Amino acid sequence: MKIIFVRHGQTNFNNPKRMQGISDLELNDNGIEQANDIREVIENKNIDIIIVSPLKRAIQTAKIINLNMQKEVIIDERIMEMNFGNLEGKVYSEDYWNFDFDYKSINGENISDFQKRIYGFIEDIKNKYKEKNVLIVSHRRSI
């Protein structure tokens, strides 16, 4: 088994760096260019299946990468970005990314719950796709 992780291309929340979380944003022009660039690298990697987050930016990136390969694409909600609740759209701060920050108080996702979701996904694909080369298109914290 080989797993290749790719982060989605740039959105308008990436510059300046904002908390995107589950905000469902599309790629900007630079993000589309980035996805095309990675497509040229990935096309020769003998991918069997693509698993992607359901958020637009990840799906767009996966579609661009898959343009010529035409591989099966599976959408999996477990690899969505972390939900930052009321912080979504705010300028990123390292203060928000620690185990002491109370995301529940801002209607967000607890870091521990987020990690369990991602680890569960990884365990599942390790068992399900043992003989496959898997491309995962997701988000900064999910990969």
Rounded distance, CA 118 to CA 113, Å? 9
Q: Which tokens is 82 given?
A: 């972390």
Q: Identify the pLDDT of residue 97.
A: 66
Q: What's the CA angle centered on 95, arms 94 and 96, to 5 degrees? A: 90
DSSP code of residue 37: H
Q: Identify the pLDDT of residue 56.
A: 98
Question: Residue 1: is its pLDDT beyond 90?
Answer: no
Least confident interval from 56-65, 72-81, 109-118 = 109-118
Q: Identify the pLDDT of residue 128.
A: 96
Q: Identify the pLDDT of residue 107.
A: 87
Comparing CA positions, the residue from 7, 17, 27 lying closest to residue 81 is 7
Rounded distance, CA 137 to CA 79, Å? 9
Amino acid letter for position 21: G
Question: Residue 100: is its pLDDT beyond 70?
Answer: no
Amino acid letter for position 60: Q
Amino acid letter for position 134: V
Give DSSP secondary structure letters for 120-131.
HHHHHHHHHTTT
Question: Residue 92: is its pLDDT beyond 90?
Answer: no
- Domains along the chain? 2-138 (3.40.50.1240)
pLDDT tens figures, 5-62: 999 999 998 877 888 899 999 999 999 999 999 999 998 899 999 999 999 999 999 9
Q: Identify the pLDDT of residue 20.
A: 87
What burial class does residue 42 get, using C-beta atoms within 10 Å of its C-beta: 0-12 exposed, 13-18 middle, 19+ buried?
A: buried
**Average pLDDT along the chain:** 91
Q: pTM for the whole thing?
A: 0.91
